[in-house]
Chains A and B, each alone.
Chain A
Amino acid sequence: MDKFETLTGIAAPLPLINIDTDMIIPKQFLKTIKRSGLGVNLFDEMRYDDGGAEIPTFVLNQDAYRNAEILVAGDNFGCGSSREHAPWALKDFGVKSVISTSFADIFFNNCFKNGILPIVLPQEAVDVLMKDAEKGSNARMIIDLEAQTVTSSDGEAFSFEVDAFKKHCLMNGLDDIGLTMEKAASIDTFEAELSKSRPWV
């Protein structure tokens, strides 16, 4: 997995609450057996009309935001289905961080598995960053994971919380499975005990 340390990038504003994973990547694109190639269909139904042409009003179709690496979105981003195709599509498009007041649980976890940093900030901070994002490509935000700060293009900095273990994995690009396998002895012990205490499992 790619390491996440600091990111200086264009942020696209998506001032809509409850952006669900069906919006992020509609189901017709879930029929892949690969993780890559979904970026072109990110937000497909908001981004393209019935004939497949770009809808010019959609933020990611505007020249200023075609290379956005950060999304600033309304509350409860990523609700709905567990499809990891949602973070895969974001990543494939080039999005490395999403900022919102809250995220749905499964989506939030899925982001970390793919090197994407979801940042939770209070409403006031998201409001400021949303305004900043609306300035377009001249306004670049800086996300510093080590320091746990987001800095607007005006230099206003906001601190955010992140789980220490998730931060460690993201900063070092670590593979969860490899880390867990280092604890195989604990799993062996648990399973041996389980076969005695709850043999029906």
Chain B
Amino acid sequence: MSPKTLYDKIWDAHVAHEAEDGTCLLYIDRHLVHEVTSPQAFEGLRMTGRTVRAPEKTIAVPDHNVPTTPGRDDPKNMTEDSAIQVAALDSNAKEFGIHYYPVSDVRQGIVHIVGPEQGWTLPGMTVVCGDSHTATHGAFGALAHGIGTSEVEHVLATQTLIQKKSKNLKVEITGKLRPGVTAKDITLTVIGKTGTAGGTGYVIEYCGEAIRDLSMEGRMTVCNMAIEGGARAGIIAPDEKTFEYCKGRPNAPTGADWDAAVAWWKTLYSDDDAHWDMVVTIAAEDIAPVVTWGTSPEDVLPITADVPAAADFQGGKVDAAQRSLDYMGLTSGTPLTDVEIDTVFIGSCTNGRIEDLRAAAEILKGKKIKDGMRAMVVPGSGLVRAQAEEEGLADIFKEAGFEWRLAGCSMCLAMNPDQLAPGERCAATSNRNFEGRQGRGGRTHLMSPAMAAAAAVTGKLTDVRDFS
């Protein structure tokens, strides 16, 4: 048998039909659904008299729109249009008989945090969702990617997607990370190197010692931002850490099924002599704590650097960089550590898990945020929130001056009331720094949870390694 990559193996195990031109029907094992990209798809089913083919493999949770303040299970406490979308998901979940975690359920949270937490996401699966950060689930050795609403409807109706295979890109992070450097710094550094279109047409497999050394949560952070590098998906081969994480989760297999599953999962790795269409290698020791300075996730620099000049770039990036500098209100040559911020957002499907909260709380223990700073922690799920309260992390955040919110996507995309005002500058643990992403005119710097926590205290972008 010819050698295969991990992606090849999962792909081959899910082809339900292949046409002569290579167009495949790829079988979908798990379909995650949220309130913003699904109403038109369910409406499409109703209009054509179609049903959900595999409701038992379809899991819905409202996350994008929901307020993160108390009393939100009363629709009166939502804006009217948000309440309509959440109510639509409520009724669609009931009508079509799919699994559902309503806002009142402690298990509710960001769909990409709930999926793994509840054991829906397992190695070797195909996982899709009408959200680009579905790439997160690749951390389990699952082929996971975002789809549009028409494709959501297609998966609901047929449990398949029409797909052509992507190319294989290996991103290897060799050696060990230096202290203060995290999974977020890895994934941002990779995007900084390859660019936001560098992964277009590829599925990325992240590998190497630094990836193996990451926890499952760190691996989710890395895969989460594969889409920001343009890739269809990011994936990491499953190992004992993966199996350990999955074991005992509410929807993970048990008994003989578990043993059979693990036996198959252990075959899910790229063969030594597999073919790669492109290889990117980065030494872990060369990765520093990084922040973004511009309005594209590729605008990444070590925190020790200065704000660049448009002339430092080439081609179309010159104009884009100037536009970013203008939008961000930054002057070239300014040390990044001199850039003052007024808002801190810790949360999102990138960095809203318990380890992220622990890392931020570690920095904040016994400290206060700077006067006038607005800082919020939005746990990724109700269960993450409950655990953080049990561990005393919530008290650390609250004593430091952070708002302690309920679970949701919140200020990552600012569809709910958590938004930046024009000109406000935010240290964010989320995944996108696009113009207007966190609110019209708002300015976003992406970074790790520990870096965001340090910035909340100093009021400036801060090198966490110098923070005490």
Q: Which of B13-45 contact A (CB under 8 A)?
A: 16-17, 19, 21, 23, 25, 27, 29, 36-37, 39-40, 43
**Mask for A68-93, Cβ within 8 A of B = 1, else 0?**
00000011100111111001000000
Can you show 15 pairs from A to B with CB atoms below 8 A apart? Answer: A22-B437, A27-B437, A80-B132, A82-B148, A87-B148, A105-B230, A110-B151, A165-B21, A177-B48, A177-B50, A177-B157, A180-B154, A180-B160, A189-B16, A199-B257
Instruction: Please state if A191 and B148 are interface contacts (CB–CB under 8 Å).
Output: no
Interface range for B: 35 or more
Query: In the complex, which of the residues A18, A75, A187 contacts B16, with contact meaning CB atoms closer than 8 Å?
Result: A187
Identify which of B27, B53, B253, B319 gathers the most chain A CB atoms within 10 Å of its CB.
B27
Interface membership of A53, Cβ < 8 A: no
Q: Which of A101-149 contact B (CB under 8 A)?
A: 102-106, 109-110, 113-114
Q: Which of B107-153 contact A (CB under 8 A)?
A: 122, 124-125, 130-132, 145-151, 153
Interface membership of B200, Cβ < 8 A: yes
Interface membership of B165, Cβ < 8 A: no
Instruction: Please state if B17 and A16 are interface contacts (CB–CB under 8 Å).
Output: no
Pick the interface stretch among A4-12, A30-38, A56-64, A154-162.
A30-38
Instruction: Please state if A31 and B65 are interface contacts (CB–CB under 8 Å).
Output: yes
B314 to A: closest C-beta gap in Å: 11
Q: Which of B281-325 contact A (CB under 8 A)?
A: 296, 315-317, 319-320, 323
Query: In the complex, which of the residues B17, B162, B319, B320 contacts A176, with contact meaning CB atoms closer than 8 Å?
Result: B162
Interface membership of B414, Cβ < 8 A: yes
Instruction: Please state if B50 and A198 are interface contacts (CB–CB under 8 Å).
Output: no
With A18-B196, A104-B197 given, is the CB distance from A79 to B230 under 8 Å? yes
A22–B436 Cα distance when bound, in Å, is: 7
A16–B305 Cα distance when bound, in Å, is: 26
A31–B130 Cα distance when bound, in Å, is: 14
Query: How many residues on the A side are at the interface (Cβ–Cβ under 8 A)?
Result: 57
Instruction: Please state if A165 and B19 are interface contacts (CB–CB under 8 Å).
Output: yes
Query: What are the 10 tightest A-B residue pairs by CB atom distance, in nearest-first order?
Result: A200-B253, A113-B150, A110-B148, A31-B81, A190-B16, A84-B148, A33-B39, A82-B146, A76-B197, A17-B316
A15–B17 Cα distance when bound, in Å, is: 41
Pick the interface stretch among B82-90, B331-339, B367-375, B389-397.
B82-90
Instruction: Please state if A80 and B432 are interface contacts (CB–CB under 8 Å).
Output: yes
Instruction: Please state if B85 and A33 are interface contacts (CB–CB under 8 Å).
Output: yes
Instruction: Please state if B230 and A76 are interface contacts (CB–CB under 8 Å).
Output: yes
A4 to B: closest C-beta gap in Å: 15
A102–B84 Cα distance when bound, in Å, is: 36
Interface membership of B357, Cβ < 8 A: no
Instruction: Please state if A79 and B196 are interface contacts (CB–CB under 8 Å).
Output: yes
Within 8 Å CB of B422, what residues of A? Answer: 50
Within 8 Å CB of B132, what residues of A? Answer: 80-82, 106
Query: In the complex, which of the residues A82, A181, A183 contacts B157, with contact meaning CB atoms closer than 8 Å?
Result: A181
Instruction: Please state if A186 and B25 are interface contacts (CB–CB under 8 Å).
Output: yes
Within 8 Å CB of B230, what residues of A? Answer: 76, 79, 104-105
Instruction: Please state if B148 and A113 are interface contacts (CB–CB under 8 Å).
Output: yes
A49 to B: closest C-beta gap in Å: 10
Residue of B nearest to A123 (CB): B315
Instruction: Please state if A180 and B158 are interface contacts (CB–CB under 8 Å).
Output: yes
Residue of B nearest to A187 (CB): B16
Interface membership of A54, Cβ < 8 A: no
With A84-B150, A104-B230 given, is the CB distance from A45 to B440 under 8 Å? yes
Within 8 Å CB of B296, what residues of A? Answer: 18, 20
B384 to A: closest C-beta gap in Å: 23
Interface membership of B245, Cβ < 8 A: no
Within 8 Å CB of A27, what residues of B? Answer: 413-415, 437
Query: In the complex, which of the residues A15, A190, A200 contacts B27, with contact meaning CB atoms closer than 8 Å?
Result: A190
Query: In the complex, which of the residues B131, B323, B432 contacts A82, with contact meaning CB atoms closer than 8 Å?
Result: B131
A75–B198 Cα distance when bound, in Å, is: 11
Within 8 Å CB of B150, what residues of A? Answer: 84, 110, 113-114, 176
B302 to A: closest C-beta gap in Å: 22
Interface membership of B170, Cβ < 8 A: no
A79–B434 Cα distance when bound, in Å, is: 10
Interface membership of B260, Cβ < 8 A: yes
Instruction: Please state if B146 and A187 are interface contacts (CB–CB under 8 Å).
Output: no
Instruction: Please state if B440 and A18 are interface contacts (CB–CB under 8 Å).
Output: no
Within 8 Å CB of A186, what residues of B? Answer: 16-17, 25
B72 to A: closest C-beta gap in Å: 16
Instruction: Please state if A163 and B65 are interface contacts (CB–CB under 8 Å).
Output: no
Interface membership of B264, Cβ < 8 A: yes
Instruction: Please state if A26 and B440 are interface contacts (CB–CB under 8 Å).
Output: yes
Q: Which of B200-231 contact A (CB under 8 A)?
A: 200-201, 227, 230-231
Q: Which of B370-426 contact A (CB under 8 A)?
A: 413-415, 422
A48–B131 Cα distance when bound, in Å, is: 27
Residue of A nearest to B158 (CB): A180
Instruction: Please state if A198 and B158 are interface contacts (CB–CB under 8 Å).
Output: no
Within 8 Å CB of A20, what residues of B? Answer: 296, 432, 434
Residue of B nearest to A112 (CB): B150
